[in-house]
Amino acid sequence: MDTITALFAQLPAQAVSEYYIWLFIVINLLWFALFCFSKHAAGNRYQKLKHSLNLDLERRRKVYELKVCQYEDYCNELDAFYLRHQNDYQTIFLPLFTEFNNRYQAAEAAEDTAAASMATLWFSGEIQKVSNANLTEMRTLDKQTAQLKLSAADDVVEILDDIQTLYNKLLVVSSEQMNKLVAITLSKDYEAVKFIGEELQQVGRELQTQSNLLMQAIRRDLLSF
């Protein structure tokens, strides 16, 4: 430091003044360069952050739209399933039972055991057709339920499990009740026909209740997304 001071002392006053001027200019240029670099770096960070936020928003938007579509498809399928099966007793069971009973009673009146056997086989075949159609529906709903559980909220998943149990129960009960119709006809216990649809109606009511709960849970899930 003493050496630098001695050198300055030997310089003419004008040279020292020019030196300080140049030193001031160089320092300000360095500060300006640092400012520009910092501004450029900050701008890059801002653009990267903006890009990242845009990607995140786009991802969330796509996930939200996917959830909405999945929920909509499932609810539509569930409503259609309920509408198809809420009157199974009146629209499927009773017509089949009536036709089977007519055939069987006519065969009995004619003492035609072959015709009675044919009537029973016909009825069993019709039951199998209904059961196969129900199984196809059940698999479709099971697949949609499994897909929905992957992104659904916990409370929605719980209700989906309950609904899955109920519509499986509904189809099982349907098949069981139809099989009972044969035994009822053979035993001629026609009073039992009046009570055969009660269990189906009860399961249907429970399914409708759970469907309403599902709609409420879906709304909460979408609003909190």
Residue 21 — pLDDT band, cuts 50, 70, 90? low
Give the pLDDT band (50/70/90) at residue 8.
very low
Q: Whole-angstrom Cα distance, residue 67 to residue 217?
A: 13
Give per-residue pLDDT as tens, 179-217: 776 677 667 666 666 666 677 778 878 888 888 888 888
DSSP 56-101: HHHHHHHHHHHHHHHHHHHHHHHHHHHHHHTTHIIIIIHHHHHHHH
The length of the chain in residues reads 225
Q: Helices 198-223 & 13-85, crossing angle to 10 degrees?
A: 170
| pTM across the whole model | 0.63
Q: What is the pLDDT of residues 164-178, one digit of tens each?
A: 888 888 777 777 777
User: What does the pLDDT look like over 77-114, one tens digit per residue?
Assistant: 888 877 777 777 778 877 888 888 888 889 888 888 88
Domains of the chain, by residue range, sit at 2-51, 64-223
